[in-house]
């Protein structure tokens, strides 16, 4: 069953890569990205900082990561009922511009102090043990097509890790994340989400 998830993810990556490779190489227009991002504010918040449970913040996400996720949503390899009508309204230039716009925004920071430092310590240990920094960077700010997870909403991180573990989430790094998340215990998932959200 897991091999089927991996195969689906690899097909999604190939489809996404061919789509991105076909985009003409010219500079992104951040101002146009800001204008198009009006579609995103209702869920992802002003300045890309989400105020809604289980909706990720997009501010400070790497340019390529945003582009890949939009391609995956548009291709249907990553599914989300709320995103589907949005991606039907964007073209390749919009994808490029949105990636540049969100990458240029100031990323979110933890809005309240860490109320459970012991849990954060366990999360840091889990992150080190699972080598999260090898993809997400030492600061967990992400790079290229890898997500920024530092300062992300805690309940969204919980949801994402559960979705990777169960195979619900596919598209964009799904194969790598499925391998990481599948053996995680519930305690590790909770600790990781708490730790990363408070960075």
pLDDT tens, position by position, for the chain (199 residues)? Answer: 544 444 444 444 444 444 454 445 578 999 999 999 999 999 999 999 999 999 999 999 999 999 999 999 999 888 899 999 999 999 999 999 999 999 999 999 877 899 999 999 999 999 999 999 999 999 999 999 999 999 999 999 999 999 999 988 865 566 789 888 999 999 999 999 999 999 9
pLDDT at 24: 52
Whether the CA torsion 162, 163, 166, 172 is positive or negative: it is negative
Residue 75 is classified by DSSP as: H
123 burial (CB, 10 Å; 0-12 / 13-18 / 19+) is buried
Q: Which two tokens stand for residue 145?
A: 């097509």
Residue 146 is classified by DSSP as: B
pLDDT at 107: 97
pLDDT at 18: 46
Of 134, 138, 172, which Cα lies nearest the Cα of 56? Answer: 172
pLDDT at 7: 42
Q: Phi/psi zone of residue 184: left (φ > 0), alpha (ψ -120 to 50 degrees), beta?
A: beta
Alpha-carbon distances, residue 87 vs 14, 39, 73, 151, 194 (angstroms): 19, 10, 7, 25, 30
pLDDT at 173: 62
pLDDT at 111: 74
pLDDT at 110: 79
- CA-CA distance, 140 to 149, in Å (whole number)? 6
Query: How many CA atoms lie within 13 Å of 30's alpha carbon, on the beta-carbon side?
Result: 7
Our CA angle for 65, 77, 188, nearest 5°, is 65
- CA-CA distance, 5 to 171, in Å (whole number)? 10
The helix or strand, by DSSP H or E, that contains position 177, with its residue range, turns out to be helix 174-181
Length of the chain: 199
């Amino acid at each position: 069953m897991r091999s089927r998830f991996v195969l689906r993810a690899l097909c999604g990556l190939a489809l996404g890569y061919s789509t991105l490779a076909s985009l003409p190489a010219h500079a992104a227009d951040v101002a146009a990205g800001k204008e198009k991002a009006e579609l995103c504010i209702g869920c992802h918040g002003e300045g890309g900082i989400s105020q809604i449970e289980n909706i990720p913040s997009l501010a400070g996400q790497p340019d390529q990561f945003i582009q890949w996720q939009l391609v995956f949503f548009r291709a249907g390899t990553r599914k989300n009922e709320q995103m589907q009508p949005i991606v039907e309204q964007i073209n390749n230039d919009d994808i490029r511009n949105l990636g540049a716009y969100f990458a240029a925004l100031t990323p979110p920071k933890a809005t309240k102090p860490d109320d459970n430092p012991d849990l954060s310590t366990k999360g840091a240990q889990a992150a080190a043990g699972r080598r999260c920094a090898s993809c997400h960077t030492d600061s967990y700010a992400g790079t290229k097509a890898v997500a920024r997870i530092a300062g992300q909403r805690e309940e969204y991180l919980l949801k994402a890790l559960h979705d990777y573990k169960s195979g619900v989430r596919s598209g964009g790094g799904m194969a790598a994340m499925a391998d990481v998340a599948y053996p995680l215990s519930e305690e590790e998932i909770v600790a990781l989400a708490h730790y990363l959200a408070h960075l």
